[in-house]
Amino acid sequence: MNTTDRDERHKARMARKKAVIDASIARADQEKGLLLVLTGNGKGKSSSAFGMVARALGHGMKVGVCQFIKSRTDTGEEAFFGRKPDCEWHVLGEGFTWDTQDRSRDIATAERGWAVAERMLSDPAFQLVVLDELTYLLSYGYLDSDRVLDALAHRPEMQHVVVTGRGASEALMELADTVTEMTDVKHAYRAGIKAQAGIDL
């Protein structure tokens, strides 16, 4: 096949592909607040959520971030986004459960954190709310699942919410508009490399 024939076949193939994609885009004519769940064992769930925070702020949207479980306040994302006037950032945990080793205390911490999240989920001024590592509070039974799902289902119509964390429940994934599962293929930590500033924190 000569170059001219190859180019013509490529052009025809791309024209067919464009027609399919254009038709698909035309069918997607609804506008609503989305619930996105980022789960799985792979790295990148919170990082993806914070990428959406950057996008939302770039569009002039008001953003709320609730970080459950985590207690450190020296992360790059908080240092950067916490200074933005349209981003309300809360670190609501006391560390991982193997650090606290106190279930009653963890439940009380979760309840205090969820009160902050509920306020955001009832306020239409927040156009994007990130509930980082919320899945653990549900899988550990620290929060009532029905209460959480009800708040997510009855939030303001145009409010987007991103939930991150491993082991998302079937009920949460069923409620979501978009679910992404991160797959763990390889991780530097298992080779003895510690968490790196700018990459992991």
Q: Which pLDDT score is estimated for 125? A: 98
Q: Which amino acid is at 162?
A: V
Q: Which pLDDT score is estimated for 70? A: 73
Q: What ranges in the chain are assigned the alpha helix state H?
A: 3-27, 45-58, 76-81, 97-100, 103-121, 134-139, 145-153, 170-175
Measured CA to CA in angstroms, residue 88 lies from 62, 63, 76, 82, 127 at distances of 8, 6, 15, 7, 12
Q: Which pLDDT score is estimated for 114? A: 97
- List of the chain residues with pLDDT < 50: none
What global pTM score does this model have? 0.87
Judge contact between 129 and 121, C-beta under 8 A.
Answer: yes
Q: What is the tens place of the pLDDT at every residue in 35-93?
A: 999 999 999 999 999 999 999 999 999 999 999 987 777 889 999 998 999 999 999 98
Judge contact between 38 and 48, C-beta under 8 A.
Answer: yes
Q: Which pLDDT score is estimated for 196? A: 83
Q: Which pLDDT score is estimated for 190? A: 81
Judge contact between 183 and 42, C-beta under 8 A.
Answer: yes
